[in-house]
Chain A
Amino acid sequence: MAKIIVVTSGKGGVGKTTSAAAIATGLALRGNKTVVIDFDVGLRNLDLIMGCERRVVYDLVNVIQGEAGLKQAMIRDKRSENLHILPASQTRDKDALTLEGVEKVLMDLSEEFDYIICDSPAGIERGAQLALYFADEAVVVTNPEVSSVRDSDRILGLLSSKSRRAEQNRDPIKEHLLVTRYNPNRVNDGDMLNLDDIREILAIDLVGLIPESEAVLRASNQGVPVIHDDKSDAGQAYADTVSRLMGEDVPLRFQSVQKRGLIARMFGGGGRR
């Protein structure tokens, strides 16, 4: 049986797809058979972040409507043989997803894979609700910013009431907080919510802290999930996140301002502060 993890946030643009791509890739690199599904019907982007946009033939909606088989629709990742991508449809509207259809796809995938990562669309409408409905665990992606934190709290409400686990009175979805775009310099200046404040307000377990990083844009430009950039701060922070998802106890990094050496300061560029 696969573990189903939804990557969700409520608010758009906080890093859901970046995180879903990085986490799925990280799990696969650690030897887990992993599939990552794009639930954002009409606005697919996971394929771009994963760098497989030109290999999309069939998509999730085709599979649900019986126009293609799962094997035909899934794209095997170029860099990791344990990783598959199931893209969203670009042309259909989001009503093409049905609860029964999604359940069937997840059940079939569940037999073959260790992890199923569901990349949720923004918002709290149908697509987002379907993405989280069957989840065992949830990664709630949050930026240190008021609207993102508030929307994350709304999503936590949905996770605890509108999921299959909630409706069947089973153990609740395990909720993980993933803080992204964290800038320790601005936290120090008192102009950005600090990690402890966010944790206190949302009151769920922290699974990772991703610093604001130039590596993220570089990675998406190239269509290579940022976790492959193991020299970068964001890549390392995602690797730590994957370890924690797999149950390991890893110390938290990138929470405070990294001291820069004299040389780095003299020559400015390059290293992140």
Chain B
Amino acid sequence: MRLLDFLKGERKKSASVAKERLQIIVAHQRGHRGQPDYMPMLEQELLAVIRRYVKVDQDAINISLDSDNDCSVLELNVTLPNEGEAAKS
């Protein structure tokens, strides 16, 4: 069997595809874990404000809240389009 698979030019086993997909989705889920409930809403509204001035994609905004012992940092990351595209809009 194994030899046959090898000769046929074995495609990737489905379990390893599953593992890769899970690693990505779980890492993404954990990034959102423990954040306040208002974060998705805040993200949407900030994006709406930014889009009033600059044309950016829906997924061009990245927001995260990091807490140390005595201070929290809200980090907002927006990928702006390059000059040429921005001018057109």
Contacts and interface: CB of A to CB of B under 8 A. Distances in A.
Contact of B33 (A146, A160, A189, A202): A160
B88 interface: no
B21 A146 contact: yes
Given A190-B13, A190-B14, A191-B13, A157 B29 contact: yes
A193 B33 contact: no
Interface string A190-213: 111110010001100000000000
A193 B25 CA distance: 16
Interface string B22-36: 110110011001100
Contact of A149 (B13, B14, B22): B22
Contact of A146 (B16, B18, B29): B18
Contacts of A187: 15
Q: Chain B interface mostly helix, strand, loop or mixed?
A: helix
Nearest to B21: A146
A100 B23 CA distance: 38
Contacts of A273: none
B8 interface: no
A168 B58 CA distance: 37
Interface string A142-181: 0001100110011001001100000000000000000000
Interface residues of A, number: 19
A192 B22 contact: no
A22 B21 CA distance: 32
A34 B34 CA distance: 33
Determine the interface band of chain B, counting residues with CB < 8 A from chain A.
10 to 19
B19 interface: yes
A153 B13 contact: no
Contact of A190 (B15, B29, B30, B33): B15
Contacts of B33: 157, 160-161
A201 B29 contact: no
A157 B25 CA distance: 14
Contacts of B25: 150
19 contacts: A145-B18, A146-B18, A146-B22, A149-B22, A150-B22, A153-B29, A153-B30, A157-B29, A157-B33, A157-B34, A161-B34, A189-B13, A190-B15, A190-B16, A193-B19, A201-B22, A201-B23, A201-B26, A202-B26
Given A150-B22, A194-B15, 13 more contacts: A145-B18, A146-B21, A149-B26, A150-B26, A150-B29, A154-B29, A157-B29, A161-B33, A190-B15, A193-B22, A201-B23, A201-B26, A202-B26
Interface of B: 13-16, 18-19, 21-23, 25-26, 29-30, 33-34
